[in-house]
Amino acid sequence: MIEFEPVDLTTEERRLQVEVIEFLEQELPHGTYRPGLGFSAEKDPAFSRKLGERGWLGMALPTEYGGHDRSAVDRFIVAEQLLRWGAPVGHHWVADRQSGPVIAKFGTEEQKRTFLPRICSGELSFCIGMSEPDSGSDLASLSTRAVRDGDGWVVSGTKIWTTMAHEHDYVIALTRTTPIEESGDKRNGLTQFIIDLASPGLTATPIPFIDNSADFCEVVFDDVYVPADRVLGEVGQGWAQNTSELAYERGGPDRWLSSYLLVEELLRRDGASDTDARPSPELLDLLGNAVANYWVLHHLSLSVARDIDRGGAPAIESSLVKEMGTRFEQDVVTAVLAYLDEAPNTLDSSVFGHLLMTAALTQPSFTVRGGTNEVLRSVAAKGLRPSGSSR
């Protein structure tokens, strides 16, 4: 069976927790900013740079490339507090979570020197170039092509659901470099590229989201020239690299904290201790249930991070956590809506009202983005082996 070891935090790790909290209390006092829902919070490059100055971006990347040689657990601790705060992490989130680590793992020396220091400083922002209009869960069937052209490559095709592509700097795109007919298996013949979103021929157009926000994009590559030195890793090895990238994308605190602030703000609103009224049993039920689940998800998710630091490859564990964490994020929204006597109103500009409206509208995406729960279950099921086979 799959096992998760409970984690003890070291003195240094506990100190880091406190440092991040103190930083946030100073930088983003309550009432001075509009908190967001998890990692889909606002984009604020200045805030990202401040985090970079504190050494809290690219934490697990090597020092020689501007990183800090720290652990996945350290990154977890920082990420968790930022999400809890609803801090504007939109600019650096993807770069810090996955683009930096994959470049560090597969990139050339020149790529590491070019990109990693600027990711660690909070300057550069990245997008994920995986899904296409006709290739979602069946990602290996993708059809964006990259063809050799002199010294470089020419990319043509369409990527979709590319968050912030209209504002961010780079996309790491998975493309087909060997046609399926020649590659045999569709997972062969794929290659990752680091592509400048300002490249001629590249158009990023926002797709209005369910809550009328406009961060989701369609990216059209119309014969976009990409220099040869922007191939990430090995030509033809894109599938394996991409799978490893997904491990960074799953299992972290961003997969169970998206609706957390709804609970905190509800408690702030209805749990005030300066009134004589006792909290209602319904409120106690909601809070007890929410905290118990956040608590156990924190420990499971932290256990995945510690495993990564010990050299593990917890793909199955992180799928298991993401699948239940994202369902729980939705359950929280459902529970809060069921508890309330009033309906969300899109013009409600209070902190709680805005979070509620956004959460009510966007919660279906929690169990879709970063791999649907159906795909995650298939991945997790591979780790569930009968007793005979594990002996």
Q: Give the binding site for another protein (CB under 8 A).
A: 1-4, 6-9, 14, 17, 80-81, 84, 260, 263-265, 267-268, 271, 273, 279, 281, 283-289, 291-296, 298-300, 303, 320, 323-324, 374, 377-378, 380-381, 384-388
Nearer to another protein by Cβ, of 9 and 337: the residue is 9
Distance CA 154, CA 131 (A): 19
Nearer to another protein by Cβ, of 131 and 303: the residue is 303
Nearer to another protein by Cβ, of 99 and 367: the residue is 367
- Pull the structure tokens for residue 319: 């799928």
Nearest approach, Cβ of residue 217 and another protein (Å): 31
Nearer to another protein by Cβ, of 33 and 106: the residue is 33
Nearest approach, Cβ of residue 103 and another protein (Å): 30
Among residues 237, 248, 390, the alpha carbon closest in space to that of 322 is found at 248
Nearer to another protein by Cβ, of 210 and 384: the residue is 384
Distance CA 107, CA 86 (A): 32
Among residues 215, 306, 251, the alpha carbon closest in space to that of 97 is found at 251
Nearest approach, Cβ of residue 30 and another protein (Å): 9
Nearer to another protein by Cβ, of 17 and 330: the residue is 17
Do 57 and 48 contact (CB within 8 A), yes or no? yes
Distance CA 310, CA 303 (A): 11
Three-state SS for 163? coil
Burial of 24 (C-beta count, 10 Å sphere; 0-12/13-18/19+): middle
Nearest approach, Cβ of residue 351 and another protein (Å): 11
Three-state SS for 203? strand
Nearer to another protein by Cβ, of 17 and 243: the residue is 17
Distance CA 349, CA 159 (A): 34
Nearest approach, Cβ of residue 152 and another protein (Å): 42
Distance CA 251, CA 316 (A): 9
Nearer to another protein by Cβ, of 85 and 216: the residue is 85
Nearer to another protein by Cβ, of 148 and 377: the residue is 377
Nearer to another protein by Cβ, of 14 and 310: the residue is 14
Nearest approach, Cβ of residue 24 and another protein (Å): 11
Rg of the chain over all Cα atoms, to the nearest angstrom? 21
Nearest approach, Cβ of residue 323 and another protein (Å): 7
Among residues 88, 81, 70, 93, the alpha carbon closest in space to that of 21 is found at 81
Nearest approach, Cβ of residue 142 and another protein (Å): 22
Do 290 and 335 contact (CB within 8 A), yes or no? yes
Q: Which residues of 196-222 are buried (b: 16+ CB within 10 A; e: fewer)?
A: ebebeebebebeeeebeeebbbbbbbe
Nearest approach, Cβ of residue 253 and another protein (Å): 9
Cβ-proximal residues to 266 (8 Å cutoff; 6+ apart), any chain: 283, 286, 336, 339, 352
Nearest approach, Cβ of residue 135 and another protein (Å): 19
Distance CA 171, CA 193 (A): 8
